[in-house]
A and B are shown apart, each in its own frame.
Chain A
Amino acid sequence: MNRQDKIRNFSIIAHIDHGKSTLADRLLEATQSVSTREMEEQLLDNMDIERERGITIKARAVKVKYEAKDGNIYDLNLIDTPGHVDFNYEVSRSLRACEGALLVVDATQGIEAQTLANTYLALENDLEILPVINKIDLPSADINGVRTEIEEVIGIPAEDCPAVSAKTGLNIGDVLEKIVTDIPAPEGDEDAPLKALIFDSYYDSYRGVVVYVRVLDGDVHAGEKIRMMNTGAEFEVVEVGYMSAFGLVPADKIAAGEVGYITASIKSVADTRVGDTVTDAENPTKEPFPGFKEALPMVYAGIYPADGAKYPDLRDALEKLQLNDAALTFEPETSIALGFGFRCGFLGLLHMEIIAERLEREFNLDLVTTAPSVIYKVTYKNGDVKYIDNPANYPDPDEIAKAEEPIVRGNIITPTDYMGGIMELCKERRGIFLDMKYLDKTRVELHYILPLNEIVYDFFDALKSRSKGYASLDYELDGYKESKLVKLEILLNLELVDALSFIVHADKAYARGRKIAEALKDNIPRQLFEVPIQAAIGGRVIARETVKAMRKDVLAKCYGGDITRKKKLLEKQKEGKKKMRKLGSVEVPPETFMAVLKLDEEQPKNFCTKGMLLSWKTSVFISTFRSV
């Protein structure tokens, strides 16, 4: 057996909540007996501060050792993938670094939209797919049903696939054996020039960017001069090594077939784009690994500090986040209503929510976030073509020759019971039905072309509420399409509020305008004067609501000289006021700018269910692999 024959590189793919992280934890636990002793020896020699505080290291890949039934000890490299549609490209790069993937399917739920989306991605990348049926400890588990479903829907054999409970650890050994016997070993050319694929990177304040790579050909060692083939950036390698469950373990070199890290005093993750190819600067490989794409934002929103004086803090915070997130873009922006802020670009809504939440939580900023917008393509009458990511900059109708909006291909998987309601929803959202496929007697997969701006506009909430949470959506961008678009403007107290403007399809403008006016009425607290709210298109008012003037706000009772209580009450009221944004003369709570998005369905919710958000976070921000 040669060196590479004892390596297995694999990912775990699954729909949200099907147990990906738990399975990863179990696999690490099961392999710990072999690896702990060896890794501890290595770690003891390198006990610097950051290794001690292993928590700072973001483990997106980990190497463990496994003694198989054939008596050989194998290196298993588990590469994590983010499990959300916003990060499809990252997922595809992670998969490219592997030869195989464990496809986890919940024995009680069966195949879901992301199961399919991820499977297709894995198949596109020529991976060996190993189905694993999870949660067999649950009473409602239907192992045989799910086996049949995997064979019929995905078309891969599943009769002898492992059926496990990642929660209890039942049958985990079967999974490890299958990895060794069924996933092919890597077959890199050890003598060829260095060719390594970047599948992740993160910024570390001690060593600069730590780049996670899969070495395809050749090898890489400290002191070597490397080049990022797509960005052209060149660096001298400081250290290479492996990712263990305990942190980074330096090594002399990492070679073909292996997964490891490189540090090279790199200042920004912008130089280490996921999907780029690392090669030897002096003896480069001929062709970069195919398929490199720069991750491009699909959704834009204005982010403003609630307190205008915090603008520099917001800039610093965005810069810090960008160190670790090349997909986040931002540019200074000024709004008449909101002052100085940034126009930020995101991969999708989840990405946007995560960034906003991190800004608030990790950097302690109070933010006002405007409604997200997609990028419209406008052809002017003079022939100019512009891409417009901010509704405030959308031109007057008489300047426009042609307006186009981005569209996506959406796959929705739903129990047949909710199919009618969901088809209705897609129709309301201007969806074009392509086709449908029954997955089994109870579930169906619907294919639609949908305008992206309809998805941005509370589509996830609507989908969840019309399917009692059972339907799932997956989508990918599918170009631009001409559309009748108009700019809807909002006036508060007769003053235009630029930050509330947005673009909408002409046929829906009236209904949307009315709903937004109503939502604003419910969100804007009463002022000392009456506040008219108007929705207008091209200066023509299409909807009007009024926030009545406040006339009574008094607590006269001041009992037995208890001055303190009264004072505290007023102080609290004042604190509440500080959070308000002043739009002209009207005070508005910061949530107002997002509230206009959430109009259609009864239940106000986040864009994504908490489960989706948490699950993604668990896999990214918290080291998934802290199993000990």
Chain B
Amino acid sequence: MSRLAGKRALIVGAAGQGNMGQTIARRFLAEGASVAVAGRRRDVLDAFVADAGGVAVECDFTDKSSIDAMVAQTVETLGGIDIAVNATGWGLLKPFLETSAEELDAMYALQLRGPFQFMQALIPVMRERGGGSIIQISSATATILFHDHDAYVATKAGTDHLVRSVANQFGEYGVRVNSISPGVTETPMTADATAVPGLMEAFVKGYPLGRYGTSEDIAAGCVWLASDECFMTGQNLQVNGGLTLRANPGKADIEASVAAAMARQG
């Protein structure tokens, strides 16, 4: 396995043990890439690097100066950036009518302003070296829907369109920009929800392939998008087993599934 041999990759959103960013980083390392893992929590990044390899870079993705510093430090450490993945996210579940201005601002800062400023920092670096691949982790919920997820889905959908816009303008410099959309996935971000009996079962019938996805599925999609043999740009890739052909469960479906599971447990 060496589909990314010689490539230098920056993965932000990798400061959670076993999260999607870390899973992508492990796969990229296995494919021969040099990897910088970034995020807010230094101790988690250091533990990852000690176990898997790569280098750790601290970053607060809601702060432009921190994003700029992360990109600059990665360039200095790895000698450049060929591949950049944004796997940060905040899976806020809050009814539309109850979502506060503070929550909206925080969501915007992380899920739209952050990706915008990340790409602003990356484009000059990639243009100078003659190209690169930028990968944004989006969500199936940016295309199909999910209740009480409004701030999340709106910013994810906005960033998908930003991906198209940046791809359109910087393709001539060899920079490809795409997003990849998981469906519901068992990750630290969804750990509270997945612990509820019956909850994840409610999602399965929305998947034509009969199971929901894993972080490993997304990492595999990222390898393809990152590799030079992928002649694709400005696209949103749905790596979720066909979920967008069907739907996520509604609130009542989930409540019924959880109630049934609770009843089974007695």
Q: Please determine whether chains A and B interact with each other in the same assembly.
A: no
